[in-house]
Amino acid sequence: MLRCLVLLMLALGTATTLHAGALLAPGDAFPAWTLSDQTGATVSSRDLAGKTYLLWFYPKAMTPGCTTEGDGLRDSFAAFQERRVEIFGVSFDPPAQNKAFVEAERFPFRLLSDDKRSLAVAVGAADSSAQPVARRLSYLVGPDGRVRAVYGSVTPATHAKDVLVDLPAAK
């Protein structure tokens, strides 16, 4: 509903951006997306149909908070794999910068470049395509393409554990 209202406002010229707090809610369809990873390969929501995945938006590669958050996800990677959850980091950094981040921190997951900020604006991680960095937040998307959980207030040091609490343990 909110997305329809925003699109109508854009068409009428009465709005130019989404505003902070315009997050998707559990049960909402997650928008379709295609982004490049740190190697330049494309990844899309279509590729992930039928899978559960976590998209963690982070402000800037190799900064303290982003490194702490990424390291926590890396250190909990096996628990995410046991629960069949794929992890993707998303920032506005170019693939080369994300590649350096992956290599420096030994991340076992891909980092995606939303350089046009289109996905970030669509999901509330940015207010406009002019925003310099992404807002720190995450979405857990289910195999049906719907939002299972929203993490709009992320503490980098505990984020991985916070997400794992919401995932049933493997049987």
Alpha carbons 115 and 73: distance in angstroms, whole number: 23
The answer as to whether 170 is a domain residue is no
Q: Is 4 a catalytic residue?
A: no
pLDDT surpassing 60 at residue 19: no
Could you tell me which residues are beta bridge partners of residue 87? Answer: 54
Which of 24, 35, 55, 66 is flagged as catalytic?
66
pLDDT surpassing 60 at residue 74: yes
pLDDT surpassing 80 at residue 77: yes
Alpha carbons 78 and 87: distance in angstroms, whole number: 11
Could you tell me which residues are beta bridge partners of residue 137? Answer: 57
The answer as to whether 25 is a domain residue is yes
What is the CATH number for 112? 3.40.30.10
pLDDT digit string (tens) for 39-70?
A: 999 999 999 999 999 999 999 999 999 999 99
Average pLDDT of the residues of the chain:
88
Give the side-chain half-sphere CA count within 13 A for 53. 23
The answer as to whether 171 is a domain residue is no
pLDDT value, residue 168: 78
Q: Which domain holds residue 19?
A: 2-165
The answer as to whether 52 is a domain residue is yes
Domain count across the chain: 1
Angle subtended at Cα 159 by Cα 1 and Cα 2, rounded to the nearest 5 degrees: 5
